[in-house]
Amino acid sequence: MLEEIDLFRLMGNRMRYLTERQSVVARNVANADTPGYQAQDTTPFTFNSALLRTGGMASNAGHAPALTLARTEPGHIGVAPTSAALQSATKNTSTNEKPDGNTVSLEEQMIKSTDIANGFALANAAYTKSLSLMKIAIDPGK
């Protein structure tokens, strides 16, 4: 039921992304001493890619078309849709290569892990607040 509401769908996508990214960071830390291991990261989560994943700000049930960017004035910059923005493919992000070929920086992974924890806290707060607002709308007397 909640997945039909765009905000909850967006927060769910954000939490799934953060879970995937935490898994990648954990794998990097686990392989910090593995010779030749290349540090990985996921592609950044953006609002636009989240809209494209959810089918736009409209339901996918055929009620309305997905939200698309349009160039309405000649001076506006057009945006070409790319499928690469939708993928969560991993890539090498570290530039500090050790003599054994390993590119994992534990400091970078610690910063990423903190960023992920902050992202979870923000998404959880938005999710919780939205649920409480729905409860107020359903039963305003409480």
User: Which amino acid is residue 9, in one-letter code?
Assistant: R
> Which range has the worst mean pLDDT, 4-8, 22-26, 71-75, 93-97?
93-97
What are the residue ranges spanned by the domains of the chain? 2-138
Tell me the pTM.
0.64
Angstrom CA distances, 88 to 45, 54, 83, 113, 138, stand at 9, 15, 11, 17, 37
- Of 119, 114, 115, nearest to 13 (Cα)? 119
pLDDT at 138 over 70: yes
Whether residue 61 has pLDDT greater than 80: no
In degrees rounded to 5, what are phi and psi of residue 109?
-65, -35
pLDDT in tens, 24-35: 999 999 999 999
Q: Residue 89 pLDDT > 60, yes or no?
A: no
